[in-house]
Structure 1
């Protein structure tokens, strides 16, 4: 399972169908819909926010944007802020998935500016992949960019990435995700290596919670990159050579590989892929020997 695990939910995920304590154990951040335009308030956003905050899960909020002119966009921003402010969300997101006015670039910028003035918080934008180029939003003005790209939408991440802009910070990689604590499907998201989790949560990540704790050593039989995060897209720390041994304190099946974690002298962690995985078990022999 990818960690940090970030989900986004709305009223489609009913509270009476969620085991909040169990689901909370598997996620690091949740983004909750507050409204669909200014006229429609999400039925369960308050319950979702209260329950996850009680369980210590950092919470952000999003609004589906539907303003029909600049003034309407500003009004949507004001209503969004008023509905969410009591929960002190760690991040605000604008969800732009429909053309509600001709000047979407200008309208969304008015929404962003109004919300920024009211909240003083960080604001990101989610843009439908097929509308990205035609909307031509001023993404450079936002604090973060969130893009969807599903591939075969199997529920797991298999390396498919958004193509409309390479400089994105959050990737929604499936709408068919499954996690214990909820029997239905979930939108699952992964971070890129551009911003750490605490940029979005205002909370220092608990690295000790990653993966499954296990101590041991691994001797490589081929050269493999040691990386800053458990993904092949993360920055390389070093290229370890065949015959080298790495000591690890945890492992996890995620992003197509079995990863082990090395605690480094400066207090940070390095992550090494040890062979392919389907997310639950190895699908081929490991690239070395466990000792």
Structure 2
């Protein structure tokens, strides 16, 4: 039997969920909405990823809500999806990117054009729709271009859905890798699905290149008691400070989307790079700084090692 894991679908509607909510939900995989049409990007991508990861999610995929009715529009939307997935979630080749097909009249040829564009860019491809819309598509043809098929079928109503679904309600269809069985998992107003195949689980866990932490350079400690502070959703205490940090270690430092070494990578900043920051924290054995970025996003950079809230060393120089 395939390993069955709980999957949640995260969009702006779930922006208020906390880390504790995710722990209560108990999902291990998440599919995060990136975009819709060619004029909308989910503004909560990073917080949805970071909070759900803090609550136990260990594998991610991403989706785009399609609004196209012809092949050229499908290609335009696919490219928009790819660009924003890279920009806001730092997706790498091999990541599972999914088309959410919920509108009537979407041609099968256009679905295929969308999926081909994703595949040509080096991504795994997925197709999602509802059981009642399935007859509008040629699933046999779409299956040739989709690595993953996600199908929704669930009872109507406001009742909370269980974590383990009633398989008597399972939709009869070919190739289903993941079944969305509720739109109100455990009463949290989040779509709940379950993996049905080993293929599904594998696609949520693409291999990643491991990056070694930079070697430390000895330097004095830092006293953080004089700064204004706050605690974020992950329970990390941040200290307000504005300044610049210049990297001095030869191998550079990895800039990430979160202040943990498990957070996804934005890139490796080489020696000599200057990072403007507005706050710092002690977390996971390192001292991190927070880099403001476009559209209210932040990058996070470790600047040295930490032990019990005391800085041990610096990997660069701080200036005002």
Q: Same fold (TM over 0.5)?
A: yes
The 1-side partners of 2:102 and 2:54 are apart by 31
Query: What is the 5 A alignment of 1:133-148?
Result: 133-137=135-139, 138-141=141-144, 142-148=146-152
Corresponding residue for 1:36? 36
1:238-289 CA-to-partner distances (Å, cap 9, x unmatched) read: xxxxxxxxxxxxxxxxxxxxxxxxxxxxxxxxxxxxxxxxxxxxxxxxxxxx
Corresponding residue for 1:105? 108
- Tell me, yes or no, if the aligned pair for 1:91 and 1:201 is still in contact at 8 Å: no
Kindly report structure 1 stretches of 4+ aligned residues shifted beyond 4 Å. 53-56
Corresponding residue for 2:17? 18
Query: What is the 5 A alignment of 1:256-275?
Result: none
Give the TM-score normalised by the residue count of structure 1: 0.60
The 1-side partners of 2:156 and 2:72 are apart by 40
Out of 118, 131, 134, the position equivalent to 1:132 is 134
**Secondary structure in 1 matching 2:180:** strand
The answer to whether structure 1 residue 186 and structure 2 residue 190 are counterparts is yes
Deviation of residue 170 (structure 1)? 0.3
The answer to whether structure 1 residue 151 and structure 2 residue 150 are counterparts is no
The 2-side partners of 1:64 and 1:116 are apart by 17
The 2-side partners of 1:111 and 1:196 are apart by 20
Gaps of 5+ in 2: 209-320
Question: What's the C-alpha RMSD, in Å, of the aligned pairs?
Answer: 2.6
Gaps of 5+ in 1: 205-291
Deviation of residue 133 (structure 1)? 1.1
Return closer, same or farther for 1:191/1:3 CA change in 2, 3 Å cut-off: closer
The answer to whether structure 1 residue 174 and structure 2 residue 219 are counterparts is no
The 1-side partners of 2:9 and 2:23 are apart by 13
Higher radius of gyration, 1 or 2 = 2
- Tell me, yes or no, if the aligned pair for 1:29 and 1:201 is still in contact at 8 Å: no
The 1-side partners of 2:154 and 2:177 are apart by 16
Deviation of residue 196 (structure 1)? 5.2
The 1-side partners of 2:170 and 2:198 are apart by 14
- Tell me, yes or no, if the aligned pair for 1:65 and 1:95 is still in contact at 8 Å: yes
The 1-side partners of 2:41 and 2:197 are apart by 34
- Tell me, yes or no, if the aligned pair for 1:24 and 1:57 is still in contact at 8 Å: no
The 1-side partners of 2:149 and 2:202 are apart by 16
1:158-216 CA-to-partner distances (Å, cap 9, x unmatched) read: 111112x13211000001212xxxx7311111111453513322269xxxxxxxxxxxx
- Tell me, yes or no, if the aligned pair for 1:52 and 1:58 is still in contact at 8 Å: no
Deviation of residue 24 (structure 1)? 4.8
